[in-house]
């Protein structure tokens, strides 16, 4: 059954035809390959495509973006469809997902999208922003994502109602001068679409893989000395 484009969704994509084609691939090949649950098909636009597209306005013109643990391309593939000016790298370790993503890039002719098979700690290069959706709780997610950001870059994590609680869980990572002040933002969707809430974390200086573990150990030692 062909996916119907809901009213208002066209406001988020310069080429709604490409977004519609991606939705169709998710609803067919994505379901057949176990990348999307069958029950998700009816809410692909509201819960997945529009939800991810609302993130696209958070990035500077021409920025480089890495989507860690992109799965079937959420949010990175959608951000690329909404913002063809961005250079988007989709990071995913599982072969069947990478195969699907490669087919999508070829079918939709998206030269500004690069696919990297691997974990976050295996990716080389630095990005203006690192995004993620439904991969891990914020403390672990920051440990993976911050080493991929350049100095002056950001980590943007889609978190919904859990945003404030997960920020509190992550407080030990703010010891030192690596992270700037985090911001919880909610962006309203067009028409009747649900809003999206995310955590935006500035990265003040570039760090190496393993930074999060070292930061947590340092914070624990300081806490012990204060006792």
Q: What is the pLDDT of residues 195-217, one digit of tens each?
A: 999 999 999 999 999 897 766 66
Angle between helices 138-145 and 211-226 (to 10 degrees): 130
> What pLDDT is attached to residue 226?
52
Q: Terminal CA-to-CA distance of the chain, rounded, Å?
A: 63
> Which residues, 6+ apart, have CB-to-CB distance to 1 below 8 Å?
27
pLDDT at 218 over 60: no
pTM over the 0.85 mark: yes
Per residue in 84-133, pLDDT (tens digit) is 999 999 999 999 999 999 999 999 999 999 999 999 999 988 999 999 99
* Residues sharing a CB contact under 8 Å with residue 25, sequence separation 6 or more, in sequence order: 100, 103, 104, 107
CB neighbours of 218 closer than 8 A, spacing ≥ 6?
A: 175, 176
pLDDT confidence bin for 175, thresholds 50/70/90 = confident
d(CA 42, CA 136) in angstroms, rounded, equals: 25
Q: What is the pLDDT of residues 40-69, one digit of tens each?
A: 888 899 889 999 999 999 999 999 999 999
CA dihedral of residues 139, 140, 143, 149 (deg, nearest 10): -90
Q: What percent of the chain has pLDDT over 70?
A: 93
Mean pLDDT score across all residues of the chain = 91
């Amino acid at each position: 059954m062909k996916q119907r484009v809901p009213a208002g969704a066209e406001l988020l994509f310069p080429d709604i035809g490409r977004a519609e084609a991606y939705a169709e691939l998710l609803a067919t090949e994505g379901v057949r390959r176990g990348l999307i649950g069958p029950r998700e098909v009816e809410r692909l636009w509201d819960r997945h495509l529009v939800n991810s597209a609302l993130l696209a306005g958070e990035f500077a013109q021409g920025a480089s973006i890495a989507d860690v643990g992109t799965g079937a391309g959420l949010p990175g593939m959608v951000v690329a469809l909404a913002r063809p000016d961005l250079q988007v790298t989709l990071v995913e370790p599982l072969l069947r997902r990478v195969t699907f993503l490669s087919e999508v890039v070829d079918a939709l002719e998206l030269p500004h999208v690069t696919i990297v098979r691997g974990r976050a700690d295996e990716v080389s290069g630095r990005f203006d922003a690192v995004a993620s959706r439904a991969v891990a709780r914020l403390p672990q997610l920051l440990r993976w994502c911050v080493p991929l950001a350049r100095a002056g870059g950001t980590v943007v994590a889609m978190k919904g109602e859990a945003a404030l609680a997960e920020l509190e869980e992550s407080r030990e990572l703010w010891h030192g001068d690596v992270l700037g002040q985090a911001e919880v933002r909610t962006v309203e969707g067009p028409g009747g679409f649900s809003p999206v809430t995310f955590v935006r974390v500035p990265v003040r200086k570039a760090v190496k893989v393993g930074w999060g573990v070292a930061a947590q150990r340092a914070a624990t030692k300081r806490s012990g000395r204060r006792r």
